[in-house]
Structure 1
Amino acid sequence: MAVAELGVVVLDCPDPRALAGFYAEVLGGSVEGEGDWVDLKLPDGRALAFQAAPGFVPPRWPSPEHSQQFHLDLDVPDLDEAEKAVLALGARPLDTEDRTRGFRVYADPAGHPFCLCAA
């Protein structure tokens, strides 16, 4: 028997509306809210939330001293096309050199690592 069920994944960031907008372009959905808390309602009913974090310091990848703490795996049908799209939206590559793997690692505009994964 479970004690709880997952509510929403919340990403700390300096600008919740801007980061929610980035993920809305990547995943679809609608951005709701203003100020220190913004929700991204995804087309399948799930959600991501974004919370203002004064003094936010992004994780460094890879770095044992500045752990990433978590990351999102985003399944895509075509890694090359998805890569072009996320880079155009403001992501930056962290580990994309090995094109034989089924994933590539990027940072969102606030510095959170995420992976594009071959679906």
Structure 2
Amino acid sequence: MALAALGTVVLDCPDPHALAGFYAEVLGGTVEDQGDWVDLKLPGGATPLAFQAAPGFVPPRWPAPDASQQFHLDLSVEDLDAAEKAVLALGATVLEAEDRTRTFRVYADPAGHPFCLCAC
């Protein structure tokens, strides 16, 4: 028996509403704005994301062996090329582009959090 269940994944950021909107476009779901805290309820009962205003937020660096990235999200997609085009149009930036033959690609969301698009 588990001691706890994962309730929500929370990302600190300078603009919670904007970052929730980015992930709502990528993942779907419903944005529930509560000011400095914004929830993204995901379809199918998936673990929700939340976005919290963090004054002085400093985004993680990728790759940076001298600084921890803390965590990243792996997002499963059917078509890597189409998903890449879509996330770049929404404001993501490429973090690793050297090997286009891999089954994943690394990006940063508009606040600088790393995430991967992974072929399913």
Measure how far apart 1:97 and its partner are.
Answer: 2.2
Counterpart of 2:12, as a letter, is: D
Q: Which residue of 2 aligns with 1:10?
A: 10
Alignment of 1:34-113 (within 5 A): 34-46=34-46, 47-113=48-114
Measure how far apart 1:2 and its partner are.
Answer: 1.1
Counterpart of 2:2, as a letter, is: A
Name stretches of at least 5 consecutive residues in structure 1 with no aligned partner.
none
- 2:112 and 2:20 map into 1 onto residues whose CA distance is 13
Instruction: Classify the secondary structure of the residue corresponding to 1:104.
Output: strand
The alignment-based identity, stated in percent, is 82
Instruction: Classify the secondary structure of the residue corresponding to 1:44.
Output: helix
- 1:65 and 1:15 map into 2 onto residues whose CA distance is 26
TM-score by length of 1: 0.97
TM-score by length of 2: 0.96
Runs of 4 or more consecutive aligned structure 1 residues displaced over 6 Å after TM superposition: none
Name stretches of at least 5 consecutive residues in structure 2 with no aligned partner.
none
Equivalences, count: 119
Measure how far apart 1:64 and its partner are.
Answer: 1.9
Measure how far apart 1:92 and its partner are.
Answer: 0.1
RMSD of aligned Cα (Å): 0.8
- 1:96 and 1:112 map into 2 onto residues whose CA distance is 16
